[in-house]
Structure 1
Amino acid sequence: MDRPRYILFAGVNGAGKSTLFKSGLWDRTSVSEAMPRVNSDEILASHGWEWEDRAAQLQAGREALALVRSCLDARTSFNQESTLTGHSIMKTIASARQRGFRVVLYYVGVGDPEIANRRIERRVEFGGHGVDPETVRRRARASLDNLVKAVPLCDEVFLFDNTYLLKPVARIACGDLVRYELENAGVSWPDEVMRRLIAADAWAGWQD
């Protein structure tokens, strides 16, 4: 019997999670149109709520959490977008793993959180949702911290850099580095992640 899949698209606000999801740079055959998708921003928009409304944001978050719990309890494959910050998302990853899900993480990073902030500003100009710049700066570090913790919990991890143009940087499978495209990096955050994984003894698949 095939294992249910938990597919997570992660990265700080403005990094390009939705851009990656809509692209052809990942294995789209692993996601059917019927697969539940958990995205608080999309839930907010589906209700016609304003992104500035704090109460609406909280309600969208509650609905997203309820959908996650429902999928986990039913062992139903689903995909989710997350900034990968806070304790809740880490608990979700751990719970999915414990329940036998195949956990696949697609992480999008940028070289500087100000790049993400500028993209969010442009998004708001075109009617999209905004995020406080200081929140983005804080989440940028927290997201990378949780990425290092999440890698050992995943069956497969794909790293993408979207500092200038969305491109694949690395693939980690079953704790081993399968691919690391140095020429595609060009920024420091992927190297930082690799070195922190080694320092944490999370895996032994990458060497200088």
Structure 2
Amino acid sequence: MPRLLIIAGVNGSGKSTLYNQMEKVMKVGTKINADDIAKSLGDFNDRNIQFKAGKKAIKLFNDCITSKIDFNFETTLSGKNIFRKIEIAKANGYIIDIIYIAIDKETSKLRISNRVLKGGHNISSKDVERRYDKSINNFTDNIDMFNNVYFYENEDSKHKLIFCIEENKIKYIENHSPKWIERKFNINKLLSKFER
């Protein structure tokens, strides 16, 4: 069966960093990243470029589905459109894997500021505020939509695995996860619907 790998988390959580590490050691399929496409077309901040990149990303998504090839993408998971894509992939026989990377809201803002200083793209604090809780809620509300879930905490840039679910069974739980993770994600309640 073909696979869709979703690397999710708020802006600045370390999605691209983790992807780049994974790509070196395993097959992750075709990468669909509108940001990368926009950069290849010209000025990332140009709205026309972003629009063209978005259209190319949609075409690439459709091509992958039609060809039934493995693919992956990054997302903040803060919108609803992403779930339509997941439903399309599932309807076409895809196994859906998600890696969700959690960081604190203030860490997100700080990392974005540091990225901008290094020439990277900016995300406004207003957008971070708007997306942060939506991302968490969309993840926790839809966790049973995924075949396999790998949940990481990345406050110290080390991508620490907190829990892992494979085919509705909990395969791993970190005994000493940070208190803010427990509080924000309500881990015990979140995992209560899965077999141990």
Which residue of 2 is the match for residue 18 of structure 1? 16
Contact 1:8-1:106 within 8 A present in 2 as well? yes
Question: How far apart are residue 186 of structure 1 and its match?
Answer: 1.2
Match of 2:165 among 165, 172, 175: 172
Which residue of 2 is the match for residue 56 of structure 1? 49
Tell me the percent identity.
29
Question: How far apart are residue 52 of structure 1 and its match?
Answer: 2.2
CA distance, structure 1, for counterparts of residue 170 and residue 24 of structure 2: 18
Which residue of 2 is the match for residue 42 of structure 1? 36
CA distance, structure 1, for counterparts of residue 5 and residue 182 of structure 2: 21
Corresponding residue pairs, total = 194
Q: After superposition, give the CA deviation of every residue in 1:44-85 in whole Å (9 maximum; x if it has no partner).
A: 1111x2232222222222221221122112211111111112
Which residue of 1 is the match for residue 5 of structure 2? 7
| Alpha-carbon distance change, 190 to 172 in structure 1, aligned in 2, over 3 angstroms | farther
Question: How far apart are residue 107 of structure 1 and its match?
Answer: 0.8
Contact 1:115-1:163 within 8 A present in 2 as well? yes
Contact 1:97-1:153 within 8 A present in 2 as well? no
CA distance, structure 1, for counterparts of residue 84 and residue 99 of structure 2: 17
CA distance, structure 2, for counterparts of residue 138 and residue 119 of structure 1: 17
Matched, 1:151 2:143: yes
Where in structure 1 do 4 or more consecutive aligned residues deviate above 4 Å? none
Q: After superposition, give the CA deviation of every residue in 1:79-135 in whole Å (9 maximum; x if it has no partner).
A: 11111121111111122122111111111110x212111111111111111111110
Query: Per the alignment, in what secondary structure is the counterpart of residue 26 of structure 2?
Result: helix
Q: Mind listing any 5+ residue stretches in structure 2 that lack a counterpart? A: none
Contact 1:15-1:162 within 8 A present in 2 as well? yes
Match of 1:90 among 83, 86, 89: 83
| Counterpart AA for 1:99 | N
CA distance, structure 2, for counterparts of residue 27 and residue 186 of structure 1: 29
Match of 1:29 among 26, 29, 52: 26
Contact 1:9-1:81 within 8 A present in 2 as well? yes
* Alignment of structure 1 residues 179-190 onto 2, 5 Å: 179-183=172-176, 185-190=177-182
Matched, 1:163 2:163: no
Which residue of 2 is the match for residue 205 of structure 1? 195
Which residue of 2 is the match for residue 101 of structure 1? 94
Query: Per the alignment, in what secondary structure is the counterpart of residue 6 of structure 2?
Result: strand
| Counterpart AA for 2:26 | T
What's the RMSD between the two structures over aligned residues? 2.1
CA distance, structure 2, for counterparts of residue 50 and residue 193 of structure 1: 40
TM-score for both structures, normalised by structure 2:
0.89
CA distance, structure 1, for counterparts of residue 194 and residue 152 of structure 2: 21
Matched, 1:117 2:115: no
Matched, 1:66 2:59: yes
